[in-house]
Amino acid sequence: MSIETTATDEATVLAQLSGMLRELLEEYGLDDAEITMDTTFHDDLELESVDLVALSGQLREHYGDRVNFATFIAERDLDEIIALTVGELVRYTVASLRATA
Amino acid sequence: MVPPVAIVGMSVLLPGAPDLASYWRNLAGGVDAITEVPPGKWDDTHYAPGEQRRADRVYCRRGGFVDELAEVDVTGFGIMPNSVPATEPDQLIALRVAAQAVADAGGPDRLPADRAKVGVVLGRGGYLTPGLVRLDQRVRTASQLVRTLGELLPGLDADRLDAVRQAFTDQLGPEAPESAIGLVPNLAASRLANRLDLRGPAYTVDAACASSLIAVDHAVRELATGRCDVVLAGGVHHCHDITFWSVFTQLGALSPSERIRPFHRDADGVLIGEGTGVVVLKRLADAQRDGDRVYAVITGTGIASDGRTASLASPDSGGQVRAVRQAWAAAGLDPAAPDSIGLLEAHGTATPAGDAAELATLAAVFGTEGSAVLGSVKSMIGHTMPAAGIAGLVKAALAVHHGVLLPTLHCDDPHPALASTRFSTLDAAAPWDAPVRRAGVNAFGFGGINAHVVLEQAPGRAKPVAVREPERVLRLAAPTVDALREAFDRAGTRETGDGPVRLGIVDPTEKRLALARKVLARGRAWRGRNDVWFADRPLLGPGGGKVAFLFPGLESELTLNCGDLARHFGLPWKHADVEVGDVGRQGAAVFELGRLLHAALGRIGVTPDAVAGHSLGEWTAMAVAGVHAEEEVDTFLAGFDPDALVVPGLAFAAIGAPAARVLEELAGRADVVLSHDNSPNQAMICGPEAAVGALVQRFRDAGIVAQVLPFRSGFHTPMLRPYLDPIRAAAERFTLHPPSLPLWSATTVSEYPAAEAEVRELFVRHLLEPVRFRPLVRAMHDAGFRAFVQAGAGQLGSLVGDTLHGEDHLVVAAHSGQRPGLAQLRRVATALWADGLDVGFEHLPGERPAAPKAVKLDLGGRLISLDEQVRARIALPAAPRSTVDDLAAKGPLAAEFAALLADTAELASTVLAGPARRLPAPRELDTTLPVSLETMPYLLDHCFFKQPPQADPGDRWPVVPATTVIDHLMRFAEQAAPGRHAVAVHDVRLSQWITAVPGVTVPVRVRPQGTHRVLATLAGYSQAVVELAPEYPAGAPAPWRFPASAERAPETTAAQLYDERWMFHGPRFQGVTELTAVGERHVRAVLTTPAAPGALLDNVGQVLGYWIMSRLPERTTVFPVAMREIRFHGPHPAPGERLECLVRITGLTEEFLDADMQLVHNGAVWAEFTGWRDRRFDSTAHIRQADRTPERSTLSVEQPGGWALVREQWPDLATRELIMRNYLAGPERDAYERRPPRGRRQWLLGRIAAKDAIRQFLWARGEPEMFPAELRIGNDEAGRPFATGAYGRDLPPVTVSVAHRAEAGVSIARHGPCGIDIEEVVPRAESTVEAALGPGELALFASLPGDPEQWFARFWTAKEAVAKLRGTGLRGEPRDFEVVAAAPEEMTVRVAGREYRVCCADVENPSGAPPRRYVVAWTEETKETAG
């Protein structure tokens, strides 16, 4: 088993992202919501675009330059951003981490 | 071909059913809503069954009545209450029912906007209805009376006669000429059209009993031609006038036995009913397009007449057949095909001729192949005449919609002709399984007019019912947070309360209520997430904060959704609810939306303390603040050129970073500038496309979110300057006015200046300088603004939230693309109210300031009676001229003699008359009845359950017997009518048991019904009509005699009844002294009067209960639910008196047992019972045994290998309640109630199995008798079950394991660790199998012969059983528990190096339950596991 602290498999990244999301949601009292790969940012967690900016900040803090959230949503239009799932971000993050390992 | 027509809304008012939901319940529950004529409706002398026939005599007085239900909220319909008495009641009822039907179809907003496409057709007869009866009394009867009196008593002068007329008409109330229109019959339809603004066809049709279906046929044709898009159709009939009954009596059509039993062999006539029903019809294609909920689809209608036949009054099968065939041909179907039809709602009048003709029709048209159910709702509500068709249509549509075949009452011995058809009747509701559910409805009217409608289920899956009514808003206010929490937790809180701490929830679902609970527990403000608002301290109102309206500018996409808002408040709005993608054309829409929302908010009492806007929204703010006049703005918009908003080559971009950071990046360049400082996390730039694109890329590379926007206007940048002139010129033409409320500028971050010239200058600056929205919001907050209402579409609110993050503030949007305007407005209202503002909720739909005041309608046709004072005043001469008077005129001597004779006569009459008993009329009485073991200690002998002596009395479940309740109702009635006895009780209804622990105080209400009856009610539990009289009536019938050949000696003695607990009654209720004889349909016993109230009559019920127990094997637990009549011929016997009890069974179905009884005292009948109805509950012999001796029997059956299996054989909710109370004691019952409804049944099965397993285990080891209540089962934190003793019982150490699935519960008890599991044998997905079994197991699994589904169940249950034994559960890792050996009855599981042997057994559900197979696995006791 690897002893790297930043493992690049989906389960670990999901756990890390969930933590960030919970921080974001904590003051809204929704920190006990279930977060899975299928959870949507907008419908399930009720995050708005402004919150996503905050999330991008947290991602930068945690992963530095290795994960560019801005690029991630750059290609998407409004409908797609609203329907984004945690899983899509997880996969993007994993891919970014592996590419920059 | 006629297009299929969808039924999208329905409502009714029928006997026993004030609305659609109760009608459905009654239909499915087989409720008989027939009663006697309500007292006072006619003069009692009209009912003369034994007398010679005469036009004014009827021989039947039972039927279907809606008098108690006829209430209408007239003011809600814009009708003055004082015009109600003069108005024909059926018009008001039609209005109520039609409005309900429209609401059921989604509300008036869902009707087409073009009301010329909406019509209403109602079937209605031309009979003498109550309003016209009253008019006739006033006009004709009063005149007739005066004329006849004048002819018979010529001594009366004109003044006296006029006084009579006046006194008579006074009883009818004041004249009301302005309401005379209310008597015109077709207004039943026209009033509706007037009220709902329907401009299509609106009229009534008369085809007697076929009227409703004729109306439906008209509606279908209107939809087919396209003249209408929606039609309300139905029927209305409220006429119980004595003339109507007289017609039926003279025709001989009324049932002499006063029962209506359609298709019964001995059916002998009809009972008359009344009612109204309305359905909303649309072409199916339109309904599907609009996403309506469709109950059923009408695929064909048929109408035909009999033509020349033998008699006008007798039905002819030929015409009926033609109508039915015509309808099925229109539907394109063959009625005789085996799968053509599932349910036929017949006309079914229960007259011999009618039933015979109809059965012949059914045989001819539908043939004999296939089977289907026949029904007639007339068995439940009587014949509703012109409304019969709609009552049947609604019934059939509900049956089709719910997939339930419905019962018909009283058809226990069907008409022989039924056998020649493919139809049969049901006596209880049954599921309807068919590929396509199809029904037909018959309606055949007097004079030979016949109609038939074919219905089938809506295509596609049944959509979940969309919530159509306006959402509820839960609002609570209290002085402190603690008080609010308390009010929230208190179930059934109706009052909003008062105080600064407020909670508002829109559409309070379970999820939202749970969230609110958490929010309240935190005690901190919560503003808006999930539509919950809570403020521990108000920001507004007493909190002093101000409200600002912020108007958004253009959005990249705009979805308008506010048409309903405009319609509700009557505000102008011309845009459709659509997306406006073209930015240029958006401008006008955004502008008008802002104004609409401002006006709508004003209507609910919300006005801003200031307005401001974002970009172009600032123009809206200016208009709203009155700086520009409305008309000038309208003109401007009309001539507005959207292309004026384009500066070629420019682009905007939104950057997810603060303005300062963006400015840094721009580093002073002039081609790209900052155009908007929106919030700490958003700024906007503007410049040439390419440059902006490059900057966006730079930001993204740095990880900052950036997006190019589709606007090209160049606003708020210096780049606009060259293009400014046209706009400046247009703006110069505006006349400026001082703002009527504070208007803030996002350019200067302060209020607008006062001087006109400065305003014009600022207008220009605004277009050239950046929008400093973030500083504006901050400044407004600093100036005391706490609530910001986004008056338009978009995300402006989230910018405010971002800027004010961490500070106390409230942001709420008045428009949302996700829901219609009214729904969003409701949220704004709730949000602002929660933070202290006074909001006018009553202006929103669905909110009412107070309970609606429904006015009771008078459906009666009472004879007029003059009261004492009036009679005295008019004082007509009492005695006619007699020979004595003639004599007096013949001379003085004769006069003296005449006087002497007159004196003598007077004296004689005084002596003979006796003291005049002047009894007051019964009065109203409101009081209470405290029910508890303290006030009614005899209830300890009326406890359902046997429990150990040290148990809580509550566990024994003491309940007030039905007859004790009746006894109390009689006593209360007597209290309300002093000097009178309760001599009879009618229409007793018992709806709920009154439990004595915990004690309860029941409100009692007695209301007079006429001069010698009262309606006595124990609110929520029971009611009865009590008849009162000064003396008990004589004329008791003779006691019944039964032939000796029809009876035999009973097998049980009276003593055994109680000793062996066949009856649960204790000593004070044990009144059966001897069981004398029992027969096929009767039983005789001897009773000794006990002392407890109602106990003697309760024993009558016990004798009945004995009869069913002795004759039937199952469902022998019975409890009374209703009684038609009990009549007493003397006072209650003293305790100790012996009486003979005779019981005659009159009806027995799966659900009910009906009987008549007599109590005979000293050879004479003291009391007669008619129509005593018991309800039967699920119980088998096994269940009864567990009930009688719970301390040594179990519901579970012990299985080989030593485990308990219990099967759920009581799907009936009431029986489940009984079983639950028997097994679970005090706190356990609370735990049961707290469990979520899903899974509650299985949890109970698990508990029963656990208690039984433990008892069986301990009994096998010598422990004495044990009641289930002496055990408590709990679960530890890991979820493992454990058992403790209660009520002083010490349990030896014992371990228990429990499992349940579907209808089975299993449990095992041992001294040491053990585990058991049960699983259903069903197909499993491959992925499931692979997830559960490791590679070795898969190989083993594949190698086993036989049913793989069963093997999988064995593998799984074995793992679970071992996991439970180990106390760990599977922990999501089933493969850790490896099955290493597998045989049908034994498995071996290896885990963490140890091997465990597990036994298996196969179990099946018994017949009667859904077919299922299970596998049960339990751990085998080994040296290690044995204690």
Here the ipTM equals 0.76
B452 counts as catalytic: no
Q: Which residue has the tokens 């900040």?
A: A57
Residue contact B705–A54, C-beta within 8 A: no
Distance CA B324, CA B1012 (A): 50
Distance CA B148, CA B686 (A): 100
**Residue B376: strand, helix, or coil:** coil
B1419, containing H or E segment: strand B1413-1419
| A3-99 CATH choice from 1.10.1200, 1.10.287, 2.40.360, 1.10.3470 | 1.10.1200
CB interface of A with B, residues 48-87, below 8 Å: 48-50, 52-54, 56, 60, 65, 68-71, 73-74, 78
**Residue B1219: strand, helix, or coil:** helix
Nearest chain A residue (CA) to B527: A28
Determine which one of B46, B237, B238, B383 is catalytic. B383
Q: Is residue A101 predicted with pLDDT exceeding 80?
A: no
- The amino acid sitting at B1387 is M
Six token digits for residue B927: 């009081």
* A–B CB contacts, 8 A cutoff, strictly below: 56
Q: Which residue has the tokens 């199998």?
A: B1329
Which positions ≥6 away from B882 have C-beta within 8 Å?
A: none
Q: How far is CA B1106 from CA B905, B1072, B1112, in A?
A: 63, 10, 10
Q: What is the pLDDT of residue B12?
A: 96
B237 counts as catalytic: no
Among candidates B519, B529, B705 on the partner chain, residue whose Cβ is nearest the Cβ of A56? B705
pLDDT mean across residues, chain A: 76
Q: Which residues of A fall within a CB distance of 8 Å from B705?
A: 52-53, 56, 69-70, 73-74
Name the more confident of B1200 and A7.
B1200
Among candidates A28, A46, A68 on the partner chain, residue whose Cβ is nearest the Cβ of B703? A68
Q: What is the pLDDT of residue B541?
A: 86
Confidence of residue A2 (pLDDT cuts 50, 70, 90): very low
Q: Which residues of B fall within a CB distance of 8 Å from A77?
A: none
Six token digits for residue B1156: 């008549």
Distance CA B518, CA B485 (A): 10
Q: Which of A45, A50, A58 to mutate to test the interface with B (most CBs of B within 10 A)?
A: A50
Q: What is the pLDDT of residue B291?
A: 83
Distance CA B319, CA B304 (A): 6
Distance CA B628, CA B756 (A): 12
Angle value at C-alpha B900, between B895 and B902, nearest 5 degrees: 90
Q: What is the pLDDT of residue B846?
A: 65
Among candidates B557, B681, B700 on the partner chain, residue whose Cβ is nearest the Cβ of A70? B700
Q: What is the pLDDT of residue B1377?
A: 87
pTM of the model as a whole: 0.46
| DSSP symbol at B467 | -
Residue contact A56–B703, C-beta within 8 A: yes
CB atoms within 10 A of CB B125: 24
Residues of chain B with pLDDT under 50: 464-467, 848-851, 913-916, 1425-1427
Picking from B1175, B1169, B1174, B1082, the residue whose alpha carbon sits closest to that of residue B1124 is B1169
Q: Which of B526, B681, B698 to mutate to test the interface with A (most CBs of A within 10 A)?
A: B681
B1399 counts as catalytic: no
Residue contact A56–B519, C-beta within 8 A: no
In angstroms, the separation between the Cα of residue A52 and the nearest Cα of chain B is 9
Among candidates B530, B557, B798 on the partner chain, residue whose Cβ is nearest the Cβ of A49? B798
Which positions ≥6 away from B1138 have C-beta within 8 Å?
A: B1073, B1086, B1087, B1088, B1089
| DSSP symbol at B17 | B
In angstroms, the separation between the Cα of residue B704 and the nearest Cα of chain A is 5
CB atoms within 10 A of CB B1213: 9
Distance CA B602, CA B1275 (A): 57
Q: Which residues of B fall within a CB distance of 8 Å from A53?
A: 656, 681-682, 705
Among candidates B519, B530, B705 on the partner chain, residue whose Cβ is nearest the Cβ of A53? B705
Nearest chain A residue (CA) to B518: A29
Distance CA B259, CA B668 (A): 97
Bond from prior residue into B998 cis (ω within 30 degrees of 0) = yes
Distance CA B1164, CA B1184 (A): 37
Residue contact A78–B798, C-beta within 8 A: no
